[in-house]
Amino acid sequence: METRTFLICIHYNNLKIKKSVNKFSKKIGLSESDIIIVDTSESLKLQSGVIDGRDVNRFFEFSGYQYGLLKLKEMYERTEFEDEIINVIFINDTIFSSHITELFIRVCSKAISTYSHNRVTGLTLHKWHGAIIPTCCFVLSSTTKAILSTKLLPEDFFKSDKLVDLKDKDIESLYVDNRHRFTNAVKSWLLPKSFFSGWYKASPWNPIPVADYRRKYLAIFLEHSMVRVLSIQGYSLAESNTDPVIKVMSFFDRVNNNLLKLRYRTLSFFKYKMNSNE
C-alpha cells in the first residue's frame, strides 16, 4: 500500500539549502509539492497556530519542525482523509554540512518503505536514561490526524497553546531523570577538557560563551526528551541501526565527525597559542 510522504527541512539562513534538499528528496522519491522548507532566521506567519514569526526559532529546529507541521496542516488538512497513514521526514541542514548525507537517505528510504502506524524512526543512541534519536533526521509515521496534532516539545513548553519563554529560566533546571548526572554529561560535552572529547565545535582552550552554552544545553535537553514526548502521544520507536548497511555508514559518519573535530580543534589550538604569545 502506497503511503504519501512529506519532508520538512529546517535551516537558518542557508542560501544553498534548496539545491541540497531537492537532491535529497529526489533520491527518496519525493516531488517538490511534498517539501516544506523553513528558514528560522525569517519572520514567518501562519493563518493560525501556536507559533508565530517571533517564536519560530525560539527552540531552534524543534520549534522550526513544529512550525513545519503547522504549515503542513494548512496545505494538507482534509478531514475526509484524517485516518490516512502518512510519513513526515524531519531534517535540518546539518545532514548536508556535518554528516554523510547518504546515511540519512538510507534511513529515510527504509522508514518510508514500510507501512507503519504510530512510529518514530531514526538512528537510535542508547543513553543511561533510555534511547534517543538524533533530531537532525527522523521520520514520523501515523494517521494524518495524529501527525498534524503532534507536539515535538514537552507539554510544559506550551502555555495556552503558545510557546513559553525561557529566557529567565535556570537552564540547568531542565534535565532528564537525574539532574546531577544530566548536567554533568552536558557540561563534559560542551566544555571538553581534552582534545578529542565533547562536541566538535567546542574547545578546551576557548570555552563557548554563556549564551551559546544555554542554547546548546536547551537543544540537548529537547533532543534527549523527544522520544519520551512522542511515546506519551502513542508513538513507538523503530530503530534503523539493525540494518547492516546503516551500521557501516554510521561508523563512517562518526569517523567523518571526528575528522571535523580534529580540524576544528587544531585550528582552535593554534589560534589559542598565537593569542597567548602576543
**pLDDT, tens digit (0-9, with 9 covering 90-100), for 103-156:** 999 999 999 988 778 999 999 999 999 999 999 999 999 999 899 999 999 998
Q: What is the CA radius of gyration of the chain?
A: 19
Neighbour tally for 241: CB within 10 Å? 14
Task: Show the cell assigned to 161.
Answer: 497553546
pLDDT grade, residue 270 (50/70/90)? confident
pLDDT value at 32 more than 80: yes
Mean pLDDT of 32-38: 92
Distances in Å between the alpha carbon of 1 and those of 44, 78, 86, 114, 140?
Answer: 36, 20, 11, 9, 17
The parent domain of residue 229 ranges over 4-276
Q: Residue ranges of the alpha helices (H) in the chain?
A: 17-27, 61-76, 94-97, 101-112, 144-148, 179-190, 210-232, 244-276
Check residue 1 and give its pLDDT: 54
pLDDT in tens, 38-67: 998 876 655 445 455 567 888 889 999 999
When divided into structural domains, the chain yields a total of: 1
pTM to 2 decimals?
Answer: 0.92
Q: What is the pLDDT of residue 54?
A: 61
Which alpha helices (H) appear in 2-97, and where do they start and end? 17-27, 61-76, 94-97
User: Tens digits of per-residue pLDDT, 68-88?
Assistant: 998 898 876 655 567 888 999
- Residue 278 clears pLDDT 70, i.e. is over it: no
Q: What pLDDT, on a 0 to 100 scale, did the predictor assign at position 75?
A: 77
What mean pLDDT is reported for the chain?
Answer: 89
Look at residue 220 and tell me whether its pLDDT is greater than 70.
yes
Q: Is the pLDDT of residue 98 over 70?
A: yes
How many residues does the structure list for the chain? 278
Contact 135, 8 (CB under 8 A): no
Specify the pLDDT at position 153.
Answer: 92
Q: How confident is the model at residue 276 (pLDDT cuts 50, 70, 90)?
A: confident
